[in-house]
Structure 1
């Protein structure tokens, strides 16, 4: 292993999969380690570039040595270097070891997780000039969560609140599914009890989807700011949460399917609410 210290960051060339830096990064695939370190991985050049453009600081940048002359790689590396980050030039074999892929992405960034404080959530949304918040209760599938974060970003939501025992938004699969939106949507978290107590501080309306919902989702035009509250994939929104909603809605289905995928139903509801605001 060759290394050369620079004025700001540190650049190292690594060829051995047994290197401690590589072991530490690979360990971030485990939620326990992510929780202990507060770090997570973002995989892919565009994803890492999105993060840096959004003001996130990379603790470590890993890239394949054979693409080090790529213009965007050089730009990304320069930003990480200027902020004092660790830059690792590695082989394809080392990248495959980290990601468990035969054809891995050529760039990986390691970042510090970010969660906002629940007590500041309402004021943060107001300060951002936002009119929409997405809250997910007990979501279990990382792909669903990542896709919903991406959809929330697309619809212009100001933040996402994760309630109860949810899957980790900073798992590699969830981050991958956000397509970069993890770096644009502020995340907050709360226990069920904390949310139900805090709910009284929410200044706007809460719209929840529920099987018992008597109102067609297209007929609701709630006051701002609106919180869209979704339950998990299996059991939906618990009764205690449904009771705290100002509006319960359902999505009528013309076919034989009994239900919709969580990410799909969230997207339909969010874009309809955004459309209703434009109609006012």
Structure 2
């Protein structure tokens, strides 16, 4: 059945997923675009359904994805162009989206790591969070830990910025005290970053495994949080800027840690 009404209750509930409150209440989120939907399916991310707009779906690859998903018993919601456009978060929608189920990994359930994990303390920007997920995957880290009041990793901007890493990187949620307790109990080093760090990030000796802890875009790690770290490194700044974008700093540090292995 083709849904053509913008007032359809199912469509209204899906449209509400643009807002965090609705995502939290419904326990699901939107995945938009051929590449991201394909990646979610390949990574076996938990999906509730695909959303297809036949008149927009000109890609043969995308049509194959939808047909294979339906053939495997998956639910496919068929909608008109106008309805799909009302759900889409970007111009020129491709006619394929998915509804994913929100899942977090318990801190105790994070996979073992040769290198470690990234902990983001009150990160506020969803684009930064998505980019860090993508970089953590590329650098061989084993998951991302969200600490305190962070932005939503299932925000549409975070989903896009992750370029599919959201579906392969385990994500845990906790608070700072629990993170410290967890790391101490498992003899995992806490490595923080600050412009007041005692060690240049390029010459530091990084213990393994570790948690790379990064503070919020505005405040960084607090004095108490830095004091709890086993190692605090700094990235030297040579120009007038006194800091790097959080996602850039995270990438610099993750790849340096990987290089030291």
Name the TM-score class by shorter chain: over 0.9
Moved more, 130-139 or 76-85: 76-85
TM-score, normalised by the number of residues in structure 2: 0.94
State the SS of the aligned residue for 2:151.
Answer: coil
For 1:125, which of 112, 117, 121 is the aligned residue?
112
Q: Does 1:170 align with 2:154?
A: yes
C-alpha deviations, 1:214-255, integer Å up to 9, x for none?
110001232211211100000001122211211100000111
For 2:25, which of 36, 54, 58 is the aligned residue?
36
For 1:247, which of 225, 231, 251 is the aligned residue?
231
Q: Which residue of 2 aligns with 1:18?
A: 7
Q: How many Å apart are 1:147 and its aligned residue?
A: 0.7
- Contact 1:116 1:188 (C-alpha < 8 Å) held by counterparts: yes
Structure 1 alignment gaps of length 5 or more: 4-12
Point out 4+ residue stretches in structure 1 off by more than 6 angstroms.
Answer: none
TM-score, normalised by the number of residues in structure 1: 0.88
Q: Which residue of 2 aligns with 1:81?
A: 70
Task: Report the number of matched residues.
Answer: 261
Q: Distance in 2 between matches of 1:86 and 1:46?
A: 19
Report the CA distance shift for 1:32/1:83 in structure 2 as closer, same or farther (over 3 A): farther
Q: How many Å apart are 1:267 and its aligned residue?
A: 0.4
Q: Does 1:203 align with 2:187?
A: yes
Moved more, 71-80 or 149-158: 71-80
Q: CA RMSD in A?
A: 1.7
- Contact 2:195 2:235 (C-alpha < 8 Å) held by counterparts: no
Q: How many Å apart are 1:56 and its aligned residue?
A: 1.6
- Contact 2:45 2:167 (C-alpha < 8 Å) held by counterparts: yes
State the SS of the aligned residue for 1:206.
Answer: strand
Structure 2 alignment gaps of length 5 or more: none
State the SS of the aligned residue for 1:243.
Answer: helix
For 2:95, which of 102, 106, 124 is the aligned residue?
106
